[in-house]
């Protein structure tokens, strides 16, 4: 594949213009760099291009889009800014790939994509671009954003017979999908007043899960476990917590503490030879040591 990071860098080029001249040249440099990236993508898909790139379809590329998105998130969480620059290039590659395939099939062009984005940003920010009454808070912006989106959906050609929840992609990770479904429903008032009653709902779902476990019916257990998870995600939403990121942070915490257990057991018998009590002691020690250090949770 190709590297999209080979763009002009005026700070490392002794012959590059500086000052006002540099500022005025930046849009042109960006335009040239982007146009070159688009041309490279077209060449890769062309008759004399890369066999792998030419074989790809919308369906086959989807998995890479998801992988690249998570790699962007991982770089941000690790504050790996050099890595983030590279991962954003890989994510942009996905956009260019889809747009090139769409143009080949005469569905739409990359310019259609950027024009649509430009118009949507302007339309959904009337407080910035349309001289409407300015908003003062993020909550007001989100309220206006949802009102505009509802109007757009109502006027869309395929609006009849569709649900507003259809706007939430089914291909999202389940935690993200649950959170977005809850937010969509909340935008029309179908929501708890605050976090307190969600705890009651969670207890109700846990009781139903216990009954399903007692019944021994695996399908019922799966259904009730799903209800528990859905409720937990909505509790996180009411608390202003992103459940996907909260779970990723807990996953990272578990990795660290388990690695500390492995390190502690390296001077003792193998972990597989330890009993539950000994393993619990190693876990407690890992938690205590982490809390004393800079990575305290």
Can you give the pLDDT at residue 8?
39
For residue 261, what are the domain limits? 244-292
Cα–Cα distance, 88 to 182 (Å, whole number): 29
Q: What are the b/e assignments for 193-227, b being 16+ CB within 10 Å?
A: eeeeebeebbeebeebbeebeeeeeeebbeebeeb
> Is 1 among the domain residues?
no
Query: Could you read off the pLDDT of 190-239 as tens digits, one per residue?
Result: 999 999 999 999 999 999 999 999 999 999 999 999 999 999 999 999 99
Whether residues 29 and 83 fall in one domain: yes
Can you give the pLDDT at residue 173?
86
Q: What is the pTM of this model?
A: 0.60
**C-alpha distances in angstroms, 52 versus 39, 56, 57, 95, 125?**
17, 7, 10, 17, 41
Q: Which two tokens stand for residue 165?
A: 């929840």
CATH number at residue 212: 1.10.287.1080
Residue numbers of the chain with a pLDDT score lower than 50: 1-15, 160, 295-297
> Is 110 among the domain residues?
yes
Cα–Cα distance, 269 to 264 (Å, whole number): 10
Q: Are 283 and 250 a contacting pair, CB within 8 Å?
A: no
Q: Which two tokens stand for residue 45?
A: 């898909």
Angle at 255 between CA 251 and CA 259, to 5 degrees: 170
Give the count of alpha carbons within 13 A of 202, CB side only.
14
> Into how many domains does the chain fold?
3
Only one residue has tokens 């909505």, namely 234
> Is 14 among the domain residues?
no
């Amino acid at each position: 594949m190709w590297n999209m990071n080979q763009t002009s860098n005026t700070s490392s080029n002794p012959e590059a213009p500086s000052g006002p001249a540099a500022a005025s040249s930046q849009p042109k440099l960006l335009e040239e760099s982007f146009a070159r990236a688009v041309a490279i993508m077209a060449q890769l898909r062309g008759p004399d291009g890369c066999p792998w790139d030419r074989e790809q379809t919308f369906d086959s590329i989807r998995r890479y889009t998801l992988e690249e998105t998570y790699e962007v998130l991982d770089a941000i969480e690790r504050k790996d800014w050099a890595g983030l620059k590279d991962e954003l290039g890989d994510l942009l590659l996905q956009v260019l790939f889809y747009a090139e395939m769409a143009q080949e099939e005469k569905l739409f062009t990359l310019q259609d994509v950027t024009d649509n984005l430009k118009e949507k940003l302007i339309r959904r920010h009337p407080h910035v671009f349309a001289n409407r009454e300015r908003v003062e808070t993020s909550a007001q912006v989100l309220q206006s954003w949802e009102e505009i989106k509802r109007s757009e959906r109502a006027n869309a050609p395929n609006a009849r017979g569709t649900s507003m929840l259809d706007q939430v992609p089914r291909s999202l990770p389940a935690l993200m999908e649950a959170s977005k479904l809850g937010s969509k429903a909340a935008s029309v008032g179908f929501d708890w007043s605050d976090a307190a009653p969600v705890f009651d709902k969670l207890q109700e779902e846990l009781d139903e899960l216990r009954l399903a476990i007692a019944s021994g019916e695996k399908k019922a257990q799966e259904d009730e476990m799903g209800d528990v998870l859905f409720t937990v995600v909505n509790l996180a939403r009411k608390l202003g917590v992103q459940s996907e990121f909260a779970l990723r942070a807990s996953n990272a915490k578990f990795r660290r503490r388990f690695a500390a257990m492995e390190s502690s057991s390296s001077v003792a018998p193998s972990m597989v030879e330890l009993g539950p009590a000994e393993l619990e002691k190693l876990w407690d020690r890992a938690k205590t040591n982490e809390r004393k250090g800079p990575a305290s949770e």
